[in-house]
Every structure is written in structure tokens, then in C-alpha cells.
Structure 1
Amino acid sequence: MSTAQTAQYRLSALKIELAPQEPFTVLAIANTGNVPLDFKVRVQQWQQRATGEDELHLLPANSLELVAFPNLLHLPVGGRAEIRLGHRLPAADVERTYRLLVAEIPPAPQGIGSETRLVTVHSLPVFIKPAVIRRQGQLLNAQVQQGTLQMTVSNRGNVHIEADQITVRGLAENGQRLFELRPQREYVLAGVTRPLMPMPLPQDQCAAVRTLQIVLDIAAHPPTTQIERPTGVCR
């Protein structure tokens, strides 16, 4: 009978941002488990459709657009390694977006009765900032149905928006704050208008909610929308 293991390792970052004046960085990876690990590193171009779906295309191994080195890593138990990431691209008007794939290479089977191991792939967003940053966005089509909030974000700036930059507050009749929460992290790339995943609302005081206030905190005067007397806050 075979048993299953899951490798344990830690990355020093879950998002990477580069700039024209800071074109290089280092991502550290540490093996915190009790088995040796091997990884393959690749870079993908990343775009989004209006429906919110990602479009990903692997860069050729010899591409100099965005370079990750080394492409193969071996980490003994307790070992640590660094992935160097950099570009030589000129400053652009719009943020360039990529995904860094750090994929565990499954170990070779050792024969009947050997242990099997679940392998993982991390897909880290990589952003190359433009020379001048313009943050501009709008909240659209916010509505509540069956205990969930649905909304669309229109990114009219030249850098990405993160969904957890949105604050949702449930307010009572007298303005008392009943709850405050943020959506799970999603990305809306520059120039894209896309719906976010439906967001469950707290149910313990749902009947007392008289206003839903939604703030997109990306500027000094953040875009704000309110749903008055919302129906459907309670499931």
C-alpha cells in the first residue's frame, strides 16, 4: 500500500513588483519539510479577458523579456535557494504583467509500495510598473442576492487593482457599523472591466442592515457606492 506525502516549503513573497529603476529582485525558497525537493521555474505572460478569465502564455526559455534564473532548483532537507528575477525593458505607459511558475517536480517512483507525494505549483503575479502610475477605478453593478454581494470593477488606470483594496461595510439605521470586510484577493489588470467572485455577507445581524457601503481604496478620494435598503442580505 502506498502512502501520500505533501512537501513543505516556504516562499519569501507571494507577489513581485519591479520598476524601471529597480529591475531586479530575488525570491527565496526554503525547504521546511523532511524530504528533498526539486522545482522547475518558468515565466508566463499574463492578460485578462473581459469575463475575468486569465490568458497565460509561456515565454520561450531563451526570452530576455523577463528572466528567471535558475530554471531548475534542488533543495535538500533544510535547504534554501534563491530565484533571481529581472528585466531590461524600457519604461512603458501601462503596467506589464506576468506570472512566475514555481512547480514542484514529482520524484521518480521507487517501486511497488513506495510513497507517493502530492506536488504543488505556485503561480506568483509579477508586475513591472510604468514610469508614471495612474490609479483610477470604478465600482459597477453592485447588487445583493441570497446573502452574497456581487459587483464589477472597472480598472481605468494603468496599474492593477486588487480586490482586497475594497472595503464593504454594513450599516444600521442609525449609522452603526454592523460589519466590515474585504473580498478575497483577486486582480483586475489595467484596462479591464470584470466581475469579482460573489462575496458572502455576515448573517448574524443581516436583518439590521440598512445600507451597504462599498469603498475602492485606490486614491485620495476613493470611489464609493452605496446600496440603500438592500434586499437579499439575509439568505
Structure 2
Amino acid sequence: MIQPASTLRRFRFAFVAAALLALPAAWAAEFSVTPIRVDLKPGVLTETITVTNNANSKLRVSIKLQEWTQDANGVDVYTDSNDLVYFPRQLELEPQAKRLVRVGLKTPAGVVERAYRLYIEEDREPSAGVERPQVSFYLRFGVAVFLAPAVPKPQPEVGQPKLAGGKLSVAVKNAGNEHFRLSRVALSDGASFNTEIPGWYSLAGSTRTYTLEVPSEVCRRARSLNLTLEGEEGLRIDRKLDVDPANCA
């Protein structure tokens, strides 16, 4: 009997998952990084990041810088960069030890904020002598680094929400020269229905669309929907949309 494609996909996924569970795991070391965000504001030339080895074994990590931009759909894009000074680029930490990583400017701030991720990643141990395949897990932290413009001005612009096929979408644009971050995007019918999705960074000049599902029974009985966007620094923007049942799922 020929199985439907969906059934075959589920079977393949289950087979792969079972195969992974059957393999011994080589767990990552335990380490932490603070802070997880660095702001190089005007007048601040360098900052430090602390890497702590919380394990009882020696830890080796490598450090790599990538420029952080967003494409036309607001999707994060990372590319290797040497725009900033950061050192050391490799660390070896004894058990329970701490080491500092310094990050600083090469060039002064411009008129538009520049964003980066400084990745601190556990080095992979050689697998010599391992007789069976292993699934290995390694930790990687991406510290957000922002090089603020001389005159920062974030400017969020939230479009009118649209409802189509039971999905509500709203475009969020950053018309300013500095990032802002939404913590959540919440939707309510003013009665019993409430849902939300996490927000994200909006880098300078980017546009990102957030989409929330509206159950058909909620959509058809609601006269209007209330959308709330909340973010850092007390940011809050409210929008209201009158519901046309024809746009419900």
C-alpha cells in the first residue's frame, strides 16, 4: 500500500528522532556570559564581557564577531566582520574560573547605529578513540553589541493591522537611526480571547511583519480586535481593527 506523503514525513521524522536518542550524548561544558548585551554609546570606547566556567573541567572557547543587519523582511542576517576590536579571541578557563573579553571601537560612531553579535563558542573536543557515533552539544552565546550613533533617534512606525484568512498581520518599521526592541505583540477581542507572540529587535531602517492566528469562532463573533505592542523603555503602541467576517478563516 502506498502511504500518503504526510505519513511518510512523520515516519522519517520519528525514525531520525529515535536514531538520535539511541546515540550516546557528549554534553557541552557549563559556562555563562555576562552581560548579554553591550552598548558602545558616545564617549564609551570599550566594554568588558565576563566568561565564567561553571564546570569542573577545563573550558576552551573561541570568539568571533559578525555584523548584524536585517533584510527587506526584517529577517536577521549575519556576516563576518572586523569592524570592532576584541580580544582575546580564544580563551582557556580552569574549572570555576572567570576571564574577561574586551570589545571596543575601531572607528567613531556614524549617523546610523551599527549592530553586531560577538559569538562566544565552546571549542569542539577531538573525537579520537570514539568507537560509536555521538550526538554532541556545544554552547554558543551571541552577545549583542550596538555602536550608537552620535545623535540617537529610534522611530517606531506601526502600520494599520490587516486581517486575511484568519490571520492578523501588522508591519513594524524603524524609521529612525537606532534600534528598538518589542518584548511582545498581544491581541485581544476585549472579552475572553487573548493571545500573544514574542517581539524582536527592529534595527535602523528595517521593517518586520508580525502575524497572529485568530481562531475562526473568535474571528466570526468579534466586532473588533485590539492589538498592543510593548517594548523597551516603556514603548507601547495600540491599534484597533474592525472585523469583517469575510476575512476570517
Q: TM-score, normalised by structure 2?
A: 0.73
Provide closer, same or farther for how the CA distance between residues 125 and 148 of structure 1 changes in structure 2, counting only shifts above 3 A: farther
* Structure 2: segments with no counterpart, 5+ residues: 1-22
Asked whether the equivalents of residues 172 and 209 of structure 1 are also in contact (C-alpha less than 8 Å), the reply is no
Provide closer, same or farther for how the CA distance between residues 225 and 104 of structure 1 changes in structure 2, counting only shifts above 3 A: same
RMSD over aligned CA atoms reads 3.5
Asked whether the equivalents of residues 138 and 154 of structure 1 are also in contact (C-alpha less than 8 Å), the reply is yes
- Aligned residue among 128, 143, 161 for 2:180: 161
State the Cα distance separating 1:193 from its structure 2 match. Answer: 1.4
1:98 is the counterpart of 2:116 = yes
Provide closer, same or farther for how the CA distance between residues 92 and 184 of structure 1 changes in structure 2, counting only shifts above 3 A: same
Structure 1 equivalent of residue 170 of structure 2: 151
Query: What are the residue-to-residue correspondences of 1:1-235 with 2, within 5 Å?
Result: 2-60=24-82, 65-113=83-131, 117-140=136-159, 142-144=161-163, 149-164=168-183, 166-172=184-190, 179=194, 181=196, 183-196=197-210, 198-199=211-212, 210-215=224-229, 223-229=237-243
State the Cα distance separating 1:170 from its structure 2 match. Answer: 1.7
Asked whether the equivalents of residues 182 and 232 of structure 2 are also in contact (C-alpha less than 8 Å), the reply is no
State the Cα distance separating 1:19 from its structure 2 match. Answer: 0.7
> What does the per-residue CA deviation read over 1:131-179, in whole Å, with 9 as the maximum and x for residues that have no partner?
2121211122524567764322111011112131x55252526xxx864
Larger radius of gyration: 2
State the Cα distance separating 1:110 from its structure 2 match. Answer: 4.1
Asked whether the equivalents of residues 226 and 238 of structure 2 are also in contact (C-alpha less than 8 Å), the reply is no
For 2:54 and 2:235, how far apart are their aligned partners in 1? Answer: 44
Bigger share in helix: 2
State the identity as a percent.
Answer: 24
State the Cα distance separating 1:214 from its structure 2 match. Answer: 2.3
Provide closer, same or farther for how the CA distance between residues 218 and 75 of structure 1 changes in structure 2, counting only shifts above 3 A: closer
**Matched residue type, 2:91:** L
For 1:69 and 1:55, how far apart are their aligned partners in 2? Answer: 24
Provide closer, same or farther for how the CA distance between residues 133 and 78 of structure 1 changes in structure 2, counting only shifts above 3 A: same
Provide closer, same or farther for how the CA distance between residues 41 and 111 of structure 1 changes in structure 2, counting only shifts above 3 A: same
State the Cα distance separating 1:119 from its structure 2 match. Answer: 1.5
State the Cα distance separating 1:189 from its structure 2 match. Answer: 0.9
For 1:226 and 1:125, how far apart are their aligned partners in 2? Answer: 33
> What does the per-residue CA deviation read over 1:177-201, in whole Å, with 9 as the maximum and x for residues that have no partner?
86475x42422210111223x3467
* Structure 1: segments with no counterpart, 5+ residues: none
